[in-house]
Amino acid sequence: MTRLRFEWDDAKALSNKRKHGISFALATRVFLDPDVLTKLDRITDY
């Protein structure tokens, strides 16, 4: 099994937490959610 590893710049992490109210550490949990639902985006013209 592949283990995900996340890293980020501390200043950017602090800025993101202040701006969005969520830490990068908490946000990464979405990638580990066993109940995640994904859908392929077939739109190519944005």
Q: Which residue has the higher pLDDT, 11 or 32?
A: 11
Report pLDDT for 38: 87
pLDDT band at 20 (very low <50, low <70, confident <90, very high): very high
Left (φ > 0), alpha (ψ -120 to 50) or beta: where does 15 sit?
A: alpha
pTM > 0.85: no
Q: Which residue has the higher pLDDT, 3 or 5?
A: 5
DSSP H helices, 1-46, are 10-20, 24-27
Report pLDDT for 1: 61
